[in-house]
Amino acid sequence: MTDNTKAIKPELLAQYAKDFNADRANLVAANAAVSAGVLEAATDYKGQRALPRDFSIELKQGSITNQRHSGRCWMFASLNTLRYELMHKWGLDDFEFSETYLFFWDTMEKSNTYLENVLSTLDEPTDGRLFQEINYGPADDGGWWQMFADLVNKYGLVPKSAYPESANSKNSDAFKQYLNTKLREFAAELRDRHANGASVDDLRALKDQDMSTVYRICAISLGEPPAKFDFLARVSNDDKKNDETKDGKKAENDKPKTGKDERKQIREYGITPVEFYKKYVPVDVNDLATLCNVPMKDRPFNKRYRIRYTANVAEAGDMEFINVPLDVFKKAAVDQISAGHPIWFACDCTQFSLRTAGYFDCDSVRVDQLFGTDFTFDKAQGLEYGDSPSNHAMTLTGVNLDENGKPNRWKVENSWGKDNGADGYYVASDAWFDRFVTEIIIRKEYLDDATRALLATEPVELDPWQPLTKRSR
């Protein structure tokens, strides 16, 4: 029998329509939204004007990057932080690492870890919460900084010239769809053999055979990664411009040039990825810590957390975070940028965001005015109810400090190409930062003593579905 008490009553629908049409603001808003879309109709020019694109502290970065149709934002943001350090250490005008190189190895490692997780949960029901979490997107693209660090520690880095993009790195959907299907087939076979009495050693031997198929799928989709490569870069001549002798005459090195590029060269022949990382990147990826700001009652501040079943490199361990209050969180960010180092960060990039125009700001996206209703979630509620999880990683490359030395807007380097934002860069209001930024990666030297000490404490373990943060895409 139909329960009409649960239905939308016709007389109420009639009243809703009458009330809607009685308000001129609703009609104007509907015309704007239907014609231009919600975000265009909700854009507030006054909010945009309050966020000029100049910053008291600004870092000079290389050309904007583009992750295309893939979930590799966390890799791009990570590599953008390191390329800045490499460029300024070696005097290069521009540089880009190969994102595809790490994408290959991340896919291999996630596949291996997925199958190892299957082996560790052989007696879990397939419809149970734990196995459902493990089985969701076995080798999907998303990730965290610590995943990046674990890959770099094991496989090193290469320049983009040594391993360029492929069709399947720029658009990973089909590649990952069929790889994930194959991995789930492997999981089913492992579980079936376990049910029929196979030993763990026999199952792991089968897993090793399965990984040969994974390698083949990756190599066909992306091409094999280089074991060694040659490297050529030219050092900038900026420091030689306008040199003059004591007589006011131009220096000898400014004599008329031929068409030949005479800049100093950096050359390497047959260098390995690990050698390249250790020689040319002036940053140890292990000397950074993940801070999060999650103001939930059951996630107390000033504790270290570990999320189970979140590793990509199985032997490296699961992802860990230090949860700190907002003032500690922001001070670390300001201190690191002020010292001349960019910051990897994760956020919910969909909230109050103008993708094309390049703004992250609640005062620029007035959906409250458009719809005639306030949006009242705070940061804790947004995380608890899954409304604003971290879903994207980018790089902070600037901040504007007011007359009191407090941040009021942030410069954001994105990886969506130069046609989005202002030549690929966004501006975020400080209020938006407070509300929607949940993770930053900070050099340990810019942590206060109390926060640094937390790195040595025993972590609180969380299940993978418990709210704290999500893998960034």
Task: Please list the active-site residues.
Answer: 73, 392, 414
Give φ, ψ of 160 to 5 degrees.
Answer: -60, -35
CA dihedral 148, 151, 153, 159 (to 10 degrees): -80
What would the 3-class secondary structure string for 27-75 be?
Answer: HHHHHHHHHHCHHHHHECHHHHHCCCCCCCEECCCCCCCECCECCCHHH
339: left (phi over 0), alpha (psi -120 to 50) or beta: alpha
d(CA 76, CA 103) in angstroms, rounded, equals 10
Is residue 172 a contact partner of residue 135, using CB atoms and an 8 Å limit?
no
Residue identified by tokens 């079943």 is 309
**Token digits for 424?**
């690929």
Contacts with 144 (C-beta within 8 Å, 6 or more apart), sequence order: 74, 290, 310, 319, 346, 439, 469, 471, 472
Measured between its terminal Cα atoms, the distance across the chain in Å is 46
DSSP 159: B
Contacts with 4 (C-beta within 8 Å, 6 or more apart), sequence order: none
d(CA 297, CA 379) in angstroms, rounded, equals 12
